[in-house]
Amino acid sequence: MTEGMEYEEFVDEGYEPGNEELVCYFYFEHVDEVEFEWAAGGIAAESSVGTWEPGLKTMNDSVKEHSATVFQLDEDNGRISVAYPPELFESGNLPQILSSITGNIYGLEEIERLRLLDVEFSEAVAGRFLGPQLGLKEVKKRAGAEERPLVGTIVKPKLGLTSEEHASVAYDSWKGGLDIVKDDENLASMQFNDFDKRVKNTLDAKKQAEEETGESKIYFPNITAPVAEMKRRAELVMDNDGSYVMIDILTAGWSAVQEMREYLEGRDIGIHAHRAQHAAYTRLKTHGISMLSIAKFARLVGVDNLHAGTVVGKMEGGKEEVQEIYSFLRSDWLEKKTTIPVASGGLHPGLVPDLVDLLGEDIVIQAGGGVHGHPGGSEAGGRALRAAADAVKEGKTLEEKAEEVEELQEALEKWGREET
């Protein structure tokens, strides 16, 4: 019987990954008692076929062929690249993939910090995943916003409004010119705001706003719940002519998101992905999982929209990091449709030119307080945000557009504007 494998045996700097392999890029810090190469090998071993005990009597040459390989070592920067044979992963099972590459390795005693920086999926691993159902172009087309950013709002306050009050805020926002209204991430089915009533009332308000404005509008109701209930809620949305659902993808879990995407296949329904809880994984730059990696998981399982950072506003996220995520979501990738990136958090009309300059026009700009905090209320706030987006389309400055739209002038007087 073949002896087991030492951690160092999982390191081979002369190895060249095959086209079918999955590749992960890690940053890590280790205790002084072990060498960098030993710790690197431990990460590859424990995320594939190895274990702490090198004398396994159950190890054989066939098993060794499935081992992960550290093929790049950068000790000065604490970085390694690891290649995984596709046979290590169950096709179409994201939880199983993540149990390997983001699993027990985070608990290794000798590894003090570990961060998944990026992951490259091969077609062999990614093939069975559906990807987004609609894609960026279809989402913009539905709203008639092919030549400008999509603009939307989150009903505020996030909790406390009745279903009727919620629908009224949504109606005012749509009437002001916004394309999208969404629930907030922690609004589900509450004693004061029942999900079924809210969906029916808000979709009725959407129809009314569409009739009065002559524009198509979109509503993202938050269906996040146990999977069976998410399916029931999605059916209710579709029964009332809704065309989108929203899921808190990290708190619901990847299995749930995958199942919902498969459940909605062929039904022309988009999934808006909220990233609530992401900072628990992404905030520390020396530990956790990068937002770029999460974005790849999300696009793979099939979300059409994803909160992806703002650069400006109240949410953490550096310029280069956020731009890289936005570029990925809109890129050609594994024959999957694109996901439209969403900027949300501390935004207002005065930031629109900066956002477009930094992130491009193929985005969703969502403002909560920056709409409902307008001196004239939600309708005026919606009109101001839409005017800012129209200014970009028309090649005008905000100040020039504000001469035409009083509500934009009021927004600029309240919140100002920032220059990148």
Residues 6+ apart with CB under 8 A from 418: 312, 350, 351, 354
The DSSP bridge pattern shows strands 69-74 and 79-84 to be antiparallel
Catalytic annotation present for 156: yes
Candidates 30, 217, 272, 274; catalytic one:
274
Residue 140: both structure tokens together: 């913009």
**Distance between CA atoms of residues 160 and 146, nearest Å:** 35
Transcribe 228-268 into DSSP letters. HHHHHHHHHHHHTT--EEEEEHHHH-HHHHHHHHHHTTTTT
Three-class secondary structure assignment of 245-256: EEEEHHHHCHHH
How far, in Å, CA of 301 to CA of 397, rounded? 39
Using alpha carbons, select from 174, 284, 184, 265 the residue that is nearest to residue 224: 184
What was the pLDDT predicted at 316?
54
Domain ranges of the chain: 10-126, 136-415
- If one counts every other C-beta atom within 10 angstroms of the C-beta of residue 188, the result is 19
Strand order in the sheet with 305-307: 218-220, 180-182, 150-154, 364-366, 340-344, 305-307, 270-274, 244-248
**Pairing assessment for the beta strands 111-120 and 22-30 based on DSSP bridges:** antiparallel
Predicted confidence (pLDDT) per residue in 162-206, tens digit: 999 999 999 999 999 999 999 999 999 999 999 999 999 999 999
Predicted confidence at residue 317, as pLDDT, reads: 60
Nearest CA among 340, 322, 385 for reference residue 153: 385
CATH, range 10-126: 3.30.70.150
> What parts of the chain have a pLDDT lower than 50?
1, 420
Element (H, E) at 211: helix 195-213
Amino acid in the structure at residue 41:
G
- pLDDT of 42: 96
The rounded radius of gyration (Å) of the Cα atoms in the chain is: 24
What SS3 class is residue 138?
helix
Annotation marks residue 30 as catalytic: no
Quick check: pTM over 0.75? yes
Of the CA atoms within 13 Å of residue 25, those in its CB half-sphere come to: 10
CATH architecture, domain defined by 136-415: Alpha-Beta Barrel (3.20)
Name the active-site residue from 30, 140, 156, 372.
Answer: 156
